[in-house]
Amino acid sequence: MVLAELGGKLRSSLHRLQGGRGDDAITTETLDAVLRDIGEALAESDVRAELVTDLKDNIRRKVGDAVSENTASSNANLARQVQRAVVDELTSMLTPSGEGSAKPYVMRRGRPNVILFVGLQGAGKTTSIAKFAHHYLRRGWKTAMVCADTFRAGAFDQLKQNATKLRVPFYGSYTEADPVSIAEEGVDRFVQDGYEVIIVDTSGRHRQEEGLFEEMQEISAAVNPSNTIFVMDATQGQAVYDQARAFHSAVNVGSVIVTKLDGHARGGGAISAVAATGSPIVFLGSGERFEDLEAFNAQSFVSKLLGFGDMRGFMEEIKSLNSGKDREEMMKNMAKGQFTLRDLYKQFQSVSKMGPLDRVMGMMPGMPEHLIPKGGDDERSKQLRKFLVIMDSMSDKELDGKIDLQKKNDPATEKRIRRIAAGSGCHPMEVRALLQQHKQMESMVSKMGKSGMMGGGNAKQR
Ligand code: GDP
């Protein structure tokens, strides 16, 4: 998962609220310790000190009084309240503030959406373009690419290579030196041909310089993009703030893709810094594969970071890729906090179509990182298939939760588990592992259903 280290630290700070012994009341000292841990974790992730201070002050303002008046009997309630405040404040830290952008990120079906990509060299612009194209292709959008980077030798070849792998048409030139006319001609052609996503790659430079900004402005004036996406590299942490502001004022950057969030400790700093400039982050890049692009939504991101799973993201993903009655039914149940083995079966079925499995499984509520099968996607799909086969051997009543398979020391339940194992050619331990996993997810869905954490937000179609 993106930012695994930060997530782990935030999760363990919230664990303090559970308390070692149930009869210990949550006190002001507990809250101080939680806030100290959260502050340290964010600082290590290179989040700007002022943002961290604001976050801690806001949380204290929201729950400080309740904590100082607390008695052990209201611990559970208070723990939820503090947790909620932490989630809300982290979410608001990652939500764009300030002036915002002139053109919000909206994609319209059946119309040409011209998307101009800008960024410094090495930020991951070309890679992100391929991922972006892949994202829309998988959702059935008619997509094409234009290479208006005439500055870097090899830029056209790199784009061409990706376009060929993705089987999307591309436009560019080895001889024409004027990026503005290439952009204009390429976009015109694809608009005429009815393309819905027309991606324009522009030159990156080693650093911000006048020439680059002028060129971006000219291209932007020539193709009149529906959106300009600024690609930036998370490894720079909070330093991206100045860069994002400079690009924002030069070309009216509408949205941002933050790349290289995989395995980089400074990602939290980069994301919060972008949010502070007022530009919305639309996607995160988390690897070098075409699939390693995640739509960004602050609420889902925080929920996932804190180990609550990304129920909303998961549902959005299911919604964008599947349709049908089953899905509606499952989503309704989950919103009510219900989650049967049959729901798990349907989730696994959808997941196996969604790929890449590590990313999608990481979104599933209650799916702890260590339960996501290791190894490549092959290994994971094998595991998923096995789970599906086990559930195929269950009766309707078992799948629908009308018979409890979790009863301990119950000979009838043991017999059922042995029957399911025999029917699916597995060891009873594997059946129990699946039941255990279902139990964890069920309790997470139930908690989230009650807390209302699954709904809300302002998700747009991406
Ligand atoms: P450009 O100069 O901005 O077009 O940058 P490229 O797209 O050529 O990317 C520069 C390097 O960063 C390449 O080696 C990419 O494979 C790598 N890269 C891009 N995005 C990501 C990402 O999200 N994660 C990782 N780990 N590497 C990335």
Query: How do residues 263-297 score in pLDDT, each as one tens digit?
Result: 777 888 888 888 888 888 999 998 889 988 988 88
Q: Which of 288, 289, 291, 293 to mutate to test the pocket of ligand 1 (most atoms within 8 A of CB)?
A: 288
CB count within 10 Å of CB 31 equals: 24
User: Does position 370 have pLDDT exceeding 60, yes or no?
Assistant: no
pLDDT at 208: 57
The two tokens of residue 41 are: 């974790």
Read off the tokens for 169: 């048409």
169-193 mean pLDDT: 92
Q: What is the mean pLDDT of residues 68-97?
A: 80
Res. 456: pLDDT tops 50: no
At 207, is the pLDDT very low, low, confident or very high (cuts 50, 70, 90)? low
Q: Where are the beta strands (DSSP E) in 55-174?
A: 113-119, 143-148, 170-171
Q: How far is the CA of 124 from the centre of ligand 1 (A)?
A: 4
pLDDT band for position 194 (cuts 50, 70, 90): very high
Tell whether the model's pLDDT for residue 74 goes beyond 60.
yes
What structural domains does the chain harbor? 4-93 (1.20.120.140), 113-302 (3.40.50.300), 308-451 (1.10.260.30)
- Name the most confidently modeled range: 71-80, 131-140, 204-213: 131-140
Atom number, ligand 1, closest to the C-alpha of residue 155: 4
> What's the rounded Cα separation, in Å, for the pair 143 and 168?
6
Mean pLDDT of 125-135: 94
DSSP one-letter code for 247: H
**pLDDT at residue 460, rounded to an integer:** 40
Pick the closest to residue 197 from 162, 156, 160, 145 (CA basis). Answer: 145
- Contact at 8 Å (CB) between 294 and 278? no
Q: Is the dihedral of CA 338, 406, 17, 303 positive or negative?
A: negative
pLDDT of residue 213: 79
Strands in 113-119's sheet, in edge-to-edge order, are: 170-171, 143-148, 197-202, 113-119, 227-233, 255-259, 281-285, 293-295
As a whole number of angstroms, the distance between CA 356 and CA 294 comes to 11
| Alpha-carbon gap, residue 262 to 292, rounded angstroms | 9
Select from 143, 162, 166 the least CA-distant residue to 154. Answer: 162
The whole-angstrom separation of Cα 30 and Cα 35 is 9
- In DSSP notation, 411-435 reads HHHHHHHHHHHHHHT--HHHHHHHH
pTM of the complete model: 0.73
**Average pLDDT over the chain, rounded to an integer:** 81
Mutate to test the pocket of ligand 1, among 120, 126, 127, 294 (most ligand atoms within 8 A of CB): 127
Strands 197-202 and 227-233: unpaired
Minimum-distance ligand 1 atom for the alpha carbon of 127: 7
Judged against a pLDDT cut of 80, whether residue 147 lies above it is answered with yes
pLDDT band at 20 (very low <50, low <70, confident <90, very high): very low
- How many CB atoms are closer than 10 A to CB 354? 21
CB contact set of 368 (below 8 Å; sequence gap of 6+): 307, 440
Quote the percentage of the chain above a pLDDT of 90. Answer: 30
189 contacts: CB under 8 Å, gap ≥ 6: 171
- pLDDT for 269: 86
> Is the per-residue pLDDT at 222 higher than 70?
yes
pLDDT at 219 over 70: yes
Cα–Cα separations (whole angstroms), residue 443 to 16, 151, 334, 378? 20, 55, 11, 29
CA of 189 to the centre of ligand 1 (A): 28
Structure tokens that stand for 240 in this block: 């991206």
* Highest mean pLDDT out of 98-107, 258-267, 308-317, 320-329: 258-267
Which residues touch 439 (CB under 8 Å, ≥6 apart)? Answer: 406
User: Which amino acid is it at 160?
Assistant: K
Q: Which residue has the higher pLDDT, 334 or 314?
A: 334
Residues with CB under 6 A from ligand 1: 119, 121-127, 204, 259-260, 262, 285-288, 292
Task: Give the mean pLDDT of 160-182.
Answer: 92
Compute, in angstroms, the gap from residue 4 CA to the centroid of ligand 1: 20
Structure tokens at 183: 């952009």
pLDDT at 325 over 70: no
What is the arithmetic mean of pLDDT over 237-265?
Answer: 82
Compute, in angstroms, the gap from residue 122 CA to the centroid of ligand 1. Answer: 6
Task: Using the predicted structure, report yes or no on whether residue 443 has a pLDDT greater than 70.
Answer: yes
Residue 242 clears pLDDT 90, i.e. is over it: no
pLDDT attached to residue 174: 86
For residue 208, report the phi and psi dihedrals to the nearest 5 degrees: -70, 130
Considering only CA atoms, which residue is closest to atom 6 of ligand 1? 124
The residue count for the chain: 462
Mean pLDDT of 428-455: 75
Query: What is residue 459's predicted lDDT score, i.e. its pLDDT?
Result: 35
Average pLDDT over residues 345-363: 63
User: Residue whose CA is closest, atom 13 of ligand 1?
Assistant: 124
Q: Is the pLDDT of residue 24 over 80?
A: no
Task: Say if residues 125 and 147 touch (Cβ distance below 8 Å).
Answer: no
Average pLDDT over residues 439-443: 79
Between 389 and 75, the more confident residue is: 389
Q: How far apart are CA 39 and CA 13, in angstroms?
A: 10
Residue 378 has what pLDDT? Answer: 64
Confidence of residue 312 (pLDDT cuts 50, 70, 90): low
- Using the atom order of ligand 1, give the atom closest to the CA of residue 201: 4
